[in-house]
Chain A
């Protein structure tokens, strides 16, 4: 057998082992990654294995299923998306121009930030709403699957080194003040002002297994469903549709599309470039 054929056999074996690991993770702990997009989940599992110094997925499964701490580390590995404040500044600029006027007409506004990861985009939205004079009547429900990620989001502490990039993003996003007004630097980190999270509810929610928990005027789910396969994306699109009030606004990541999803015909585009949609039926 050639070495290339051996490699190919090993990949097939690894794929089987990964399926078994994910099945075990679901049955033992209830976290369901079985319908995640395979390429990226495989990368992350192999990365975790390298960090844990474990050679085979089967050996790793043994560790994950018998050791809660090992499982928790895997969960963080699978759920961290590295984002930035005001990621894709034009999205926030368009939000200011086209969504804020809609929100002004509501007495109260409920926003669901689904898959908020470590919170950078939640604080960005809080800043935007405060500058538009809307923050006091808004509640932002920021959810993620991982407790550890939410703990970080709640802290609101980010590396000082990132602030130069974030300041640029903030300005391009139509920021009205000095970005540094919103945080206090402390050694190599900054802490965002606690006032920004007075109307933020951080909470665990699993898009894969949990249902709708409220009706929202705005739902942001940006660069979260890219980790799901098509079947799971469909489920989440239905969940989001069901959780959105009529004429509510739905925001996706730059390279995500409503096209070919079961709910495509139920929204109007608010903006063609930035992925902002409005539920119309």
Chain B
């Protein structure tokens, strides 16, 4: 199964976790990475902050912007971020589980469009957002990676994700980027999992 997109969801503790994952991504990382970090409405500078920890170009996408490989996209504050066949779509629908952006909204839209070609990653967080979305990614044949709750800053989100579906890998935070780098090196058409 060749993967086409990586989606990442995190909440409490996510900023520190992303500072571990993003710098360790290969500079020639071949897939787009889309990140939902739960954030307040006053977090205008998050993008600039995270870019300092990331060799890949990182940006908040505009509505309908094309999705390019080797880039990191951060869901803007106070919008849901969805993916479609030809680019991003933003929405101001009601918060889902108190969250806007919501991890579930991103993950579910990614599964809808990319079907089995999605890698879903859940990192630290104190709620259960992302569990339903990760289960959908799994149901469509995608690959599910979860930060090991034992070492997570906050175990809620990893635990909820593990309870919701049969995840493919539970990894300590430091091993997540190397794992993604390796997935990315697989030639298109080669098979990782069943």
Contacts and interface: CB of A to CB of B under 8 A. Distances in A.
B82 A39 contact: yes
A223 B115 CA distance: 28
Contacts of A254: 76
Interface string B28-66: 000000000000010000000000000000001111100
A39 B113 contact: yes
Contact of B84 (A37, A165, A233, A255): A37
Contacts, number: 85
A88 B85 CA distance: 29
Nearest to A46: B108
B90 A82 contact: no
Nearest to A87: B78
A255 B112 contact: no
Interface stretch (A2-10, A54-62, A105-113): A2-10
A5 B1 CA distance: 13
Nearest to B78: A87
B83 interface: yes
B188 to A, nearest CB: 18
Is the contact region of chain A dominated by helix, strand, or loop, or is it mixed? helix
B18 interface: no
Given A3-B139, A8-B140, A255-B62, A226 B92 contact: yes
A102 B82 CA distance: 37
Given A40-B82, A43-B105, A2 B93 contact: no
Interface residue tally on B, bucketed by range = 20 to 34
A256 interface: yes
A43 B62 contact: no
A27 B63 CA distance: 29
Given A4-B141, A255-B63, A226 B89 contact: yes
Interface in B72-126: 76, 78-80, 82-86, 89-95, 105, 108-109, 112-113, 115-116
Interface in A244-258: 253-257
Contacts of B93: 40, 43-44, 80-82
A235 interface: no
Interface residues of A, number: 33
A5 B194 CA distance: 12
Nearest to A37: B89
A39 B84 contact: yes
A42 B112 contact: yes
A214 B33 CA distance: 44
A258 to B, nearest CB: 10
Given A8-B116, A43-B109, A230-B64, A38 B84 contact: yes
A230 B115 CA distance: 23
Interface string A58-95: 00000000000000000000001111000110000000
Interface in A235-275: 253-257, 259
B63 A256 contact: yes
Contacts of B116: 4, 8
B109 A255 contact: no
A87 B77 CA distance: 11
Nearest to B194: A2
A123 interface: no
A256 B84 contact: no
A265 B188 CA distance: 40
A82 B82 CA distance: 16
B140 A255 contact: no
15 contacts: A3-B139, A4-B139, A5-B141, A8-B141, A39-B89, A39-B109, A39-B112, A40-B80, A43-B109, A82-B92, A82-B94, A223-B79, A223-B90, A223-B92, A225-B63
Given A11-B115, A226-B63, 20 more contacts: A3-B139, A4-B141, A5-B141, A7-B139, A7-B141, A8-B116, A37-B89, A39-B82, A39-B83, A40-B89, A40-B91, A43-B108, A80-B93, A82-B93, A83-B92, A87-B78, A226-B92, A227-B91, A230-B64, A230-B86
